[in-house]
Amino acid sequence: METFLDLLSVSILISAFILTATKRINTYIKTFQFQSLLLVVATFALGVYNLLTEGYFDILLLSVVIFILKVIYIPRLLHNTYTKVEYKVEKDFFINIPSSVLICAALVILTYYSLQSIDSLLSGHIKFYLVNSLSVVLIGLFFMITRKKAIGQIVGFLVLENGMFTTAMLSAHGMPVIVDLGILVDLLTAVMIMGMLVFKINERFDSINIDRLRNLRG
C-alpha cells in the first residue's frame, strides 16, 4: 500500500514536470487530465483502504466525484474553450522551458528544506508525500506565473489545486468530506467563469495573450 502511494505521489510530481516542459495547449489539458486520473487512483485506493479498516465510505465517494469532475468534465470544458480560441501553441514565455524545468527542480529542493524544521514530527513516508505534493503546489503556481496565455494560467491554477488536494489526501487521509466537496464546487465555478472570461477576452481583443489586457480599447 505504501509503496503504491509512493509511486503515485512521484508520478503526480512527474506529470507536473511534464506540464512545465510542454507548450501546446492541447497537451496542457491532456497532462492535467492524466494527473487528475493519478489523483483519482490514489484517492480510490485510500477510500477502499479506509472502508475496509474503519468502515467510512466518504473518501470512496469523493474519488467518484473527482473522477467525474476533474477527469471528465473540466477537461471537456477547457477543450471547448480551446476549440473556440485560435491560439494552439504558446510561443513566448517569460522564462524558456529548460530554465523553467530547472527552476522547478529547485522548487523541490526548497520544499525539502522548508520541511527540515518540522522533520522530527513527521514519519518517513508522510514527509515524502509532503515533499512531493507541496512541490506540485509550487510548480502549479510557477506555471501560472510563466505562461502568458489565459488557458495556461487556468491549467496552472488547477494543478495547484491538485497539489493541495494530494497534500491533504496523502498526508492526512483527506479533509472532512464536506470541506473537500466545497472546494471542488468552488473550483468548478472558478473554471467555468474563467473559461467564459477567456472566450470574452478572445472576442474583445482577438487574442488570449494577457499582455493585451493593458491596451485601451474604445
Partner 1 sequence: MNEILYVILQLILVMLVAPLATGIIKKVKAFSQKRQGPPLTQMYYDLYKLLKKDTVVSETASWVYHLAPYITFVTALAASVFFPLTASLFNLSFQGDIILAVYLLALGRFFMVLAGLDTGSTFGGMGSSREMMIASLIEPALMVALFTLGLIAGSTSVSAIISANQAGSPLILNPYSLLLFSAIFIILIAETARIPVDDPSTHLELTMVHEAMLLEYSGKHLALMEMAAAVKQLIFITILANFFLPLESFLTLSNPFLAFFIGLALYLIKLIAVSLLIAAAEICTVKLRFFSVPNLAAISFALAFLGFMQFFVIGR
Provide the binding-site residues for partner 1, judged by CB under 8 A: 3, 6-7, 9-11, 13-14, 17-18, 21, 97-99, 101-102, 104-105, 108-109, 112, 124-125, 127-128, 131
How far apart are alpha carbons 85 and 20 in whole angstroms? 21
Supply the minimum distance, in Å, between the C-beta of residue 143 and partner 1.
14
Residues 137-161 as b/e (b if ≥16 CB within 10 A, e otherwise) read bbbbebbbebbbbbbbbbbbbbbbb
Residue closer to partner 1, measured from CB, 74 or 107: 107
Residue closer to partner 1, measured from CB, 131 or 158: 131
Supply the minimum distance, in Å, between the C-beta of residue 27 and partner 1.
12
Residue closer to partner 1, measured from CB, 21 or 118: 21
Supply the minimum distance, in Å, between the C-beta of residue 218 and partner 1.
40
C-alpha dist (Å) from residue 84 to 41, 95, 189, 195: 31, 27, 20, 11
Residue closer to partner 1, measured from CB, 7 or 172: 7
Supply the minimum distance, in Å, between the C-beta of residue 17 and partner 1.
6
Supply the minimum distance, in Å, between the C-beta of residue 139 and partner 1.
11
Residue closer to partner 1, measured from CB, 7 or 179: 7
Residue closer to partner 1, measured from CB, 135 or 202: 135
- The answer for residues whose C-beta is within 8 angstroms of residue 103's C-beta and 6 or more apart is 95, 142
Dihedral sign, CA of 117, 123, 127, 128? positive
Q: Residue 44: count other Cβ atoms within 10 Å of its Cβ.
A: 17
Q: Quick one: 25 exposed, middle or buried, by C-beta within 10 A (0-12, 13-18, 19+)?
A: buried
Q: Which of 143, 141, 118 is nearest to 131 (CA)?
A: 118
Supply the minimum distance, in Å, between the C-beta of residue 70 and partner 1.
23
